[in-house]
Each structure stands twice: as C-alpha cells, then as structure tokens.
Amino acid sequence: MSLPNIGRFRIGALLLVIIGLCIFPFLARPYLVEVAMIYFLWMILAQSYRLIVTIHDWQLYHIVLYGVGAYTSGMLAKDLGVPVFAAIPLGGVMASLVGVAITSLLLRTKGWGFYIATYGLAEFIRLSWLRFRNPFGGSTGIIDIPYPPVAGGIDFSARIPYYFFSLGVMLIILYMLYRIEKSRIGDAFKAISMDPMLAASTGINIPRHRLLACAIGGFFAGIAGGLLVHRLGAVDPRMFNIVTMLYLLIWVVVGGTNTFWGPMIGVSVMHTLFELSRPLIQIRPMFFGLSMILVLLFMPGGIESLISKAFARWRKLPEMPTAEAK
Amino acid sequence: MTSQTLIQTIANAAAVSGMYALIAVGLTLAFGVMQMANLAHGHFFMAGAYTVYALYALNKWPFWLAVAAAVGIGAVIGLAVERGIFRPLRGDVVAGFIATAGLMFVFEVFMGEVWGWGYMRPVPSPYMRAVKFMGASVAFQRVIVIPFAIACIGGLMIFMRWFRLGRALRAVAQDPEAASIQGININRMTALAMAIAGALAGIAGGLMSTIYAVTPALGGHIILPALIVVVVGGMGSIGGVTLASIIMGFVNTFVTTLVDGVTAFMVSVAVMALVLAIRPQGLMGHVVT
C-alpha cells in the first residue's frame, strides 16, 4: 500500500515544482529569470552527464560537447541562415557525433588513461575554436548570433517566452532521460557499470552500449548549448574550459549519482550556492573543491543519499504499528 | 630556421623534456603503486616554484638550499595527499580521480590567497652565464634541469631495481595482495611513492621557477602536457614515460617555435590520440586485464 502513496507524493511534489516554475517568471526580477534559464541548462547537462556516468565512463568532454552544440547551432543560424528552431537540434546531432567519435577512438583505453585522454581531446576541440579564427572567431568567439524568431504570434526572443521554451525543452529531455533510465537500455548500462564481464557474458554488447550512452548524452548536451547560444547571442571558447567541466563534475558528484534525482539536487543546491557566492569569487573554487573531496570521503552517495536516508527513516515511524499488527 | 635557432630549440626541447620527465615519472610511479594518480600533480610543481620564490627571491637564501627546500615541501605535500585522499579512497579509481580534481581548485585558491592573484612572481636567475655552442648561446639556467632529470630518473631506476625498498614498490605495483602476504606494508609503499612523486615535482618546479612565470595558474598549465606524457608512455612504466617525455618535449618545443603554443598543444594531443588508437595501453604500458 505504501508504494502508490510514495508515487502519489512524488507526482504531487513534481506538479508543485512545475506550477511554481510556471508562476516564477511573472513574479521574479528579470535577472532571476535569466539565472533560472541557466539552471535549466545545467539540469540538462547534469542529467545527460549522469546517463554516461551510469555506464561508468567519467569522461571530461561533456562541457565541450555543450560547446559543440552552441557553436554548431550558432554558426548554422548565423552563416547559413538555418532557422533557429532547426539549428538547435542539428547542434545536438553534431555534439552527439563528436562524442561518439572521441569515445570510439578511446574504446580500448581503460580507467585512468581513458579519463585523461578524454580531457586531452576535449582541449583539442576547444583549442581548435581558439586557433582557427575563420570560421570559429578565435578568442573573441562569435557574436551577433540570431535570436529565435516570432512563431505562432509569440516572440521567442523576449525573456518570458524563451523561459517557457527552455523550461519545456528541459522537461521533455528530463522525461526522456527518465524513460531511458527505466528501460532495458538503462538496465544494460547499470549492468555494465556493476560487472562488465558478467554483463558481456549475458550478451550485452559493451562497446555499442558505451557509444549509445555517449550519443544520447552528447545529443542533449548539444541541445543545451543551442539553447544557451540563441539566448546570449554570442559564444566564445572560454565558456567551455576544464574549470566549467570540473564544476559540472562537482554538481553531479555532490548531488549523488545513484539515483535519477541526485544530479538535479546537486544542481539545485550547488548552483544556488555558486550564484550566492559571487562576492567571494576568488576563493569560491576552494569551497567547491573541498566540498567535493569531503563528499567523496565521508558521503559517497552525495546529498541525495542523505535525503533518501532521512526520508526512509521518516516514513518508517508511522509504518511501525502496521508491521507489528502483522 | 637558422642553425643557431635550431641548436637553441634543441636545447630548449631537451630542457622541456627533462621537466616533463621529472613531473610525469612521479605521476606514473604513483599510478603504478596505487592504480590512481594525482590530477593536482602540477600544483605540487607550482608549490616547488613558489618555495624557491619565497626563500630565494624574497629571503635571499642560497639558490640550491631553496631548491632543496622545494624538494622537501613537495614530498611533504605528497605524503599529506596520500594520507588524506588516496589512502581512504584506495581501490576506487573514479573517486580518487575526481577528488584530486577538487584538490586542484583548493591548491590554486590557496596559492592565490597567500601570494596574490594575477601577479607574475619573477625569480631572478642565479646563473647569468650562457653556454656557447656552435655559434649559438644557450642560457645556463634554462638547461640546468637536464642533468637533474637524468640523475633523478637514473637514480630512481637503480633504486627500483637494486634496493629492497624499490623492489617492494615494484612488488606492490604488480600485485598488492601477494606483496602484502610477503609482509610488505602497502600503506608505507603508497606513502613512499607519493613522497617520491612530490619530491620530483618539487625539484622540477624549483629549477624551472626562474624560467616560468610563477602564478597561481601555473599548476593548471603544466598538468595537462604531463598527463598526456603519462598516457602516451604507458601508465606505470617509468621507461615508457621517460621516452614519451622526450618525444613530447621535442614535438611541443619545435611546433611552438615554428608555429605557436596552441598548435603545439593540439599536435601533442593528436600524437596521443594516434598512439592510443594503435596501442591503447600507451607505448610501453602493460595490458591491464
């Protein structure tokens, strides 16, 4: 009996959050609405990164794929005149292809060497934006990227319509990732991360699943990049450096990667702290670095594990009499 | 390229190779013993550079005493990181890797807060002489790292081959469980490996502090080339990493001189990708099953 109750509780909480997010832009200051849109992008990034992490490929190029999406979408819209709403998914496709290319190159490199090599190749892509002034614009990047057009009588270049557009895209992506997690493919990913030998012996094709995880995760990261670039109207290589990647890693690890909700909690908590600590910008990295080390040492499941433990204890108390009655 | 610049470039490339070797051999030694390695290793190098800056440039200690202090500081930081991060996380490669990524942030902010952000700390060169060779003059200070790299790595290889403690390190690298059955204290061995790694990074940082701009960002600049050297040479192989640091040192310096630094970095990543595509375990790495 308790399971449907939890399910109903979760759905209720989720609906409350979504309703809150729908009211939010009408009440908040414009600056906060912009910050909220950045949150949505981080949610997509953290969740899509978690999909790759469930298969244990802790790569360090996810932020660069976000950049690939941003550059592709921006350049398609600016230089080739592709409509913005078509350019964004094309950016996702490009990011997905780049991710698959990098991982397929490194499929046979294991463990620590794999992580380092992904870091190197990510820097390679980022530096090529810096190196080739034509067409990538060098260190100043690309400016004057078109804003989204008026569609169906709604001007998507305005703040509030774009807020709802990115909210919608985020919710769709999160739902898709949730379904993937609960599907057969998601189970195969988890099996590979737990025991690759056993997974292979049950007939799971490991390289193919690793590439599939990369392709899906990269696609969504690229879409996040497209969403970013058509709001900012500009893009430059500094936005996608290793420091940003380490922050993504911190959000995901501190939130916890064991369940679907962990990275979202991580983004909500840590990115809020990140925004609040703007006055301390110089020493901010130390706080986040330390928090990641402490979480790894003392709380390997992340914040999410604390919450679910507390939740389990809170739920157990009223249930105890029924257990005795049996 | 004239013959003079050619000779100068070769000398520079040799110096960069020596520096890479000092940093990367420490990384690979730690990797061999723990199956993990330290992303914050470049920050050990930076700690060595700042030590020489503080003692030699500010407090007028003799240069060599300051370098010796940098070695000591590097070893102490190595021990502390082993005790605080690697020992509790032993066996969890991903956690060790991510935790040291966090450590990069901690070190960088610490150095920035102590020594100031955005300042280049100049360390005056103790030896103003230049070596004249076939019409080209090469600054003595620039190549001083080469004999040290040869001596340290040669010494380490001898230590690993003929000394009891070095053989114990190799035994742990091959099979920790069997080694501990033979009475080898694994905690002591990982501590030793990290202390050696830290000391090597400290000496490299101390010697190169006169050439590099000593800033809080130095550690982040130096680490990626060193990591690439380790991956190319083969994780856990000292010989392979020494070979790789010579290759990458020359590739990097020549492309930097002929084109520019960004291109040089891209070429070295391309070399890495090529090596990994053909030999996934690196040039002289062992296949991990």
Q: Give the model's confidence band at A24: pLDDT under 50 very low, under 70 low, under 90 confident, else very high.
A: very high
- Average pLDDT score, chain A: 89
Number of domains in chain A: 2
Partner residue facing B99 (CB), from A109, A242, A296: A296
On the 0-12 / 13-18 / 19+ scale of CB atoms within 10 A, B121 is buried
* pLDDT over 50 at A218, yes or no: yes
Single pTM value for the model: 0.90
* Interchain proximity B269–A124, CB inside 8 Å: yes
A207 lies within 8 A of chain B by CB = no
Residue B11 contacts residue B54 (beta carbons within 8 Å): no
Chain B residues closer than 8 Å to A255 by CB: none
Same domain, A247 and A205: no
How high is the pLDDT of residue B121? 79
B31 lies within 8 A of chain A by CB = yes
- Segment 202-241 of chain B within 8 Å of chain A by CB: 220, 224, 227-228, 230-231, 235
Domain-located, residue A279: yes
B259 lies within 8 A of chain A by CB = no
- Segment 32-91 of chain B within 8 Å of chain A by CB: 35-37, 85, 88-89
Same domain, A181 and A54: yes
Residue A278 to chain B, least CA–CA distance (Å): 15
Chain A residues closer than 8 Å to B37 by CB: 112
* pLDDT over 90 at B253, yes or no: yes
CA atoms within 13 A of residue A96's CA, in its CB half-sphere? 16
* Interchain proximity B104–A246, CB inside 8 Å: yes
* pLDDT over 70 at B288, yes or no: no
Q: Give the model's confidence band at B127: pLDDT under 50 very low, under 70 low, under 90 confident, else very high.
A: confident
How high is the pLDDT of residue A161? 93
* pLDDT over 90 at A207, yes or no: yes
Tell me which of A205, A221, A240 is where a domain ends.
Answer: A240
How high is the pLDDT of residue B117? 81
* Interchain proximity B104–A117, CB inside 8 Å: no
How high is the pLDDT of residue A104? 92
Instruction: Report, as an integer, the average pLDDT of B173-188.
Output: 90
Same domain, A217 and A314: no
How high is the pLDDT of residue B206? 93
User: pLDDT (tens digit, 9 = 90+) per residue, B10-22?
Assistant: 999 999 999 999 9
Chain A residues closer than 8 Å to B110 by CB: 286
How high is the pLDDT of residue A67? 96
Answer with the residue of higher pLDDT: B286 or A276.
A276
Same domain, A194 and A307: no
What 3-state DSSP class applies to B131? Answer: strand
* Interchain proximity B36–A113, CB inside 8 Å: no
Interior angle at CA A37, CA A36 and CA A39, nearest 5: 65
Residue B138 to chain A, least CA–CA distance (Å): 30
Same domain, A286 and A307: yes
* pLDDT over 80 at B146, yes or no: yes
- Segment 239-278 of chain A within 8 Å of chain B by CB: 242, 246, 249-250, 253
How high is the pLDDT of residue A4? 54
How high is the pLDDT of residue A2? 46
Q: Which of A108, A130, A293 to mutate to test the interface with B (most CBs of B within 10 A)?
A: A293
B265 lies within 8 A of chain A by CB = yes
Domain-located, residue A9: no
Same domain, A51 and A69: yes
How high is the pLDDT of residue A317? 57
How high is the pLDDT of residue B289? 41
| Number of residues that this document lists for chain B | 289
Domain-located, residue A199: yes
A288 lies within 8 A of chain B by CB = yes
Partner residue facing B113 (CB), from A115, A128, A283: A283
- Locate the domains of chain B by residue range: 3-216
- Average the pLDDT over each of A138-147, A177-186, A300-309, B114-123 and give the range with the smallest value: B114-123
Question: Cis peptide before B126, with omega less than 30 degrees from 0?
Answer: no
Residue A64 contacts residue A38 (beta carbons within 8 Å): no
Partner residue facing B98 (CB), from A124, A290, A292: A292
* pLDDT over 60 at B257, yes or no: yes
Answer with the residue of higher pLDDT: A109 or B256.
B256
CA atoms within 13 A of residue A297's CA, in its CB half-sphere? 18
**Exposed e or buried b per residue across B86-103, where buried means at least 16 C-beta atoms within 10 angstroms of its C-beta:** beebbeebbbbbbbbbbb
Chain B residues closer than 8 Å to A124 by CB: 265-266, 269-270, 273
Residue type for position A65? L
Tell me the percentage of chain A whose pLDDT exceeds 70. 95
Residue A121 to chain B, least CA–CA distance (Å): 6
User: pLDDT (tens digit, 9 = 90+) per residue, A69-102?
Assistant: 999 999 999 999 999 999 999 999 999 999 999 9
Tell me which of A240, A274, A303 is where a domain ends.
Answer: A240
Instruction: Report, as an integer, the average pLDDT of A249-278.
Output: 90
Residue B283 contacts residue B277 (beta carbons within 8 Å): no
Instruction: Report, as an integer, the average pLDDT of A265-273.
Output: 91
Residues 6+ away with beta carbon under 8 Å from A250: A266, A270, A288, A289, A291, A292, B102
Same domain, A302 and A211: no
Same domain, A291 and A197: no
Same domain, A214 and A288: no
Domain-located, residue A132: yes
Chain B residues closer than 8 Å to A128 by CB: 266
Domain that residue A142 falls in: 24-240
B271 lies within 8 A of chain A by CB = no
Residue A314 to chain B, least CA–CA distance (Å): 30
How high is the pLDDT of residue B192? 95
User: pLDDT (tens digit, 9 = 90+) per residue, B31-72?
Assistant: 888 888 788 999 999 999 999 999 998 999 999 999 999 999
Q: Please provide the DSSP assignment of A197-223 as one string.
A: HHHHHTT--HHHHHHHHHHHHHHHHHH
How high is the pLDDT of residue A1? 41
Domain-located, residue A12: no
Positive/negative CA dihedral, B263, B266, B268, B270? negative
* pLDDT over 50 at A178, yes or no: yes
* Interchain proximity B276–A109, CB inside 8 Å: yes
What 3-state DSSP class applies to A106? Answer: coil
- Segment 96-135 of chain B within 8 Å of chain A by CB: 97-99, 101-106, 108-110, 112-113, 117
How high is the pLDDT of residue B228? 93
Partner residue facing A105 (CB), from B102, B228, B273: B273
Same domain, A214 and A135: yes
- Segment 107-136 of chain A within 8 Å of chain B by CB: 108-113, 115-117, 119-121, 123-124, 127-128, 130-131
Domain-located, residue A159: yes
Domain-located, residue A124: yes
Same domain, A268 and A190: no
How high is the pLDDT of residue A320? 46
